Amino acid sequence: MKKVTLLTLPAVFVMVLQSGCGDVKQSRTEFLSDYSKLTAASDENYRYVNEQALDEYSSFIVDEVEVHFFDGASAIKAKSEGKITEQELKDLTNYFHSAIVKAITASGHKVVHQSGRGVARLRIALTDISETSALNILPQASLMGAGIGGAAMEAELVDSVTGKQIGAVIETRKGSRIPFSNLGDWTTAKGVMDHWANRLKEKLE
């Protein structure tokens, strides 16, 4: 089994977001319930969060991370070429889910399984992943971003009772450009997911 890593984001990260400006241009999967409030934080990252509403929630339901690759995603090619298996995808989504749950509990909040007042639901979809290649061991390739791997996600936080969107994000993130740091096919993905989970923890604290 190849090692896997988390790449780009999902719904809990809604809490990590800061508003930007502009329209959503990146390919989208229609996973989110509403894209209209998203504003550009960068060329590939879009965010929305209702900070005031977010403060009303102390508990979170974390749905299983889904896979919704957008048209043209590099992961689609990887699957067709046999570079990633369904089991590896399952391992990645499980890893991401576990990292998010740990982040929420570490922040002093609760992870629950029933809807109710003060409970928000986090929905996350992995929308692309790219593998770490042997090129990353070459300093010149790493500095250019070649072979470093990465991932993309769509995520949203909604009220568990009404379904009203509290926050949402579309995010793409590359892995580390430090040579020799990513020597497994999907290890960069986990590193990116860990980064997202840590951002969430800091936001909730």
Q: pLDDT by residue (tens digit) across 83-115?
A: 888 998 999 999 999 999 999 999 999 999 999
CATH number of the structural domain spanning residue 107: 3.30.160
Whole-number Å distance between alpha carbons of 140 and 64: 38
Q: Is 173 helix (H, G, I), strand (E, B) or coil?
A: strand
Whole-number Å distance between alpha carbons of 188 and 150: 6
Does any domain span residue 70? yes
CB 42 within 8 Å of CB 102:
no
Instruction: Identify any residues that bridge with 158 across adjacent strands, giving them in sequence order.
Output: 121, 165
Domain count, the chain: 1
Strands 66-67 and 119-130: parallel
Q: What is the CB neighbour count within 10 angstroms for residue 23?
A: 10
CB 169 within 8 Å of CB 13:
yes
Does any domain span residue 33? yes
pTM score:
0.77
Does any domain span residue 5? no
State the DSSP H helix or E strand holding residue 39, giving kind and residue range, or none if neither.
Answer: strand 39-40
Q: Work out the angle between the directed axes of helices 86-106 and 187-204 (0-180°, nearest 10).
A: 20
Q: pLDDT by residue (tens digit) across 25-73?
A: 556 799 999 999 999 988 778 999 998 999 999 999 999 999 999 888 8
Does any domain span residue 4? no
Does any domain span residue 2? no
Range(s) of the domain holding residue 63? 11-204
Does any domain span residue 23? yes
